[in-house]
Amino acid sequence: MEFLTPPADHPARDRVRAWLREHPHPTPRQLAESGYVAPHWPAPYGLDADPMSQLAIDAELRAAQVAMPENPIAIGWAGPTILAGGTEAQRERYLRPLLAAEEIWCQLFSEPGHGSDLANLSTRAVRDGEHYVVNGQKLWTSDAHVAHLGILIVRTDPDAPKHRGISYLICPMDTPGITIRPVYDMTGTFYLNEVFFDDVRIPAENLVGEENKGWRLAKVTLGNERVSLSGEGALWGHGPSAADLLAKVRAANLDLDPLLRQELAKVWIEGEVLRLIRLRTVTAAVQGRPPGPEASIRKALSDEHGQHIMNLVRDLAGSHGLVKGHDPFGSDDAKTWDHGFCFAPALTIGGGTAQVQRNIIAEQVLGMPRELDVEKGMTWSEARSAVLAAQR
């Protein structure tokens, strides 16, 4: 297919260049107020930019080496959810500081004991006058120890069906009753945390959307999360890519045996497939078409691809791959590869496990039934026949 990219004379390019002449070293607040942090957002927080304009803006800012504000959970997940369901007062209060990275956000969704069954919440919130009183525990909360605010889902109606009776709150992380404990990972550091709520009083004005109807907004957050976790780098959009690895191997002039050459070719092919899927998604957006299944498929593929890259670097290191601090390319990137290899197992867990992603693809893309009817003794052949019949 023909991929669409912004032409060199796209008018958005001239506007960005003119703005950069006036702001050669823009601050995060200036970038936020210009609309360039999230140009596709509606004004006044964005520019109502169409996909082609957004691509042109991003290209010009990258070419100028402009450092964008770093606040991934806020800009990628919390902001779009507040835009979708928040009040005008909430948008005015939170979005501008969020875009400027003046207030860091975290996501308080996952809980211990429930695995990927996110809607099976134990954390409760009870309305008490002008506050919600929250009790419970959250787990795997990235950056909770440095966050100013968090997006929090709680159960407000314990008698409602699982996906109902859930509410979506904005939680100030310095509220009395919140305890944060680090969760160290294989890299030897931590950015994940467990968070405890003991009679935490959150103002009722921090409710996003309607009480007991927060699952719809939680799905908005999760949808943006899975797109955000599928960037170019091997580690959820960060770090080296397959192309970077190939360039390293060529520069080091490594003498590879046929098996390692084959593995290197495989990860490069995977990287190209993912790049082309991304271009298909971008092209669909430019043409005003829904992205289709590519976004879900890309999330599932890119996680395993990141693990393949890091495993291959370990193999390239040979016996030295068993110890920390060795770079098979003879450069100073040992820390990058050590961290990447230890972090890579998390890729197929965070943002929806690989198994959950495949279930989503099976049900929403392939039209397969949610599960076999074991009580009625339904076989896979019968399930396939049922799917085919439903598609006729």
Q: Is 106 helix (H, G, I), strand (E, B) or coil?
A: strand
Eight-class DSSP state of 76: I
User: What CA–CA distance (Å, rounded) separates 128 from 132?
Assistant: 6
Instruction: Give the β-pairing of 207-208 and 131-138.
Output: unpaired
Other beta carbons within 10 angstroms of residue 303's beta carbon come to 26
Contacts within 8 Å (CB) and 24+ apart, 82-85: 82/170, 82/208, 83/41, 83/42, 83/45, 84/217, 84/220, 85/168, 85/208, 85/209, 85/216, 85/217, 85/220
**What amino acid positions are annotated as catalytic residues?**
225
Rounded distance between C-alpha atoms, residue 337 and residue 321, angstroms:
10
User: Of 361, 350, 212, which is closest to residue 295 (Cα–Cα)?
Assistant: 361
Q: What is the DSSP string of 181-228?
A: EEE--TTS---EEEEEEEEEEEEGGGEESSTTB-HHHHHHHHHHHHHH
Distance separating alpha carbons of residues 109 and 344, to the nearest angstrom = 22
Run of H or E residues at 74? none
374 in helix, strand or coil? coil
How many residues comprise the chain? Answer: 392
DSSP helix/strand/coil, 150: strand
What is Dmax (Cα atoms) for the chain?
A: 71
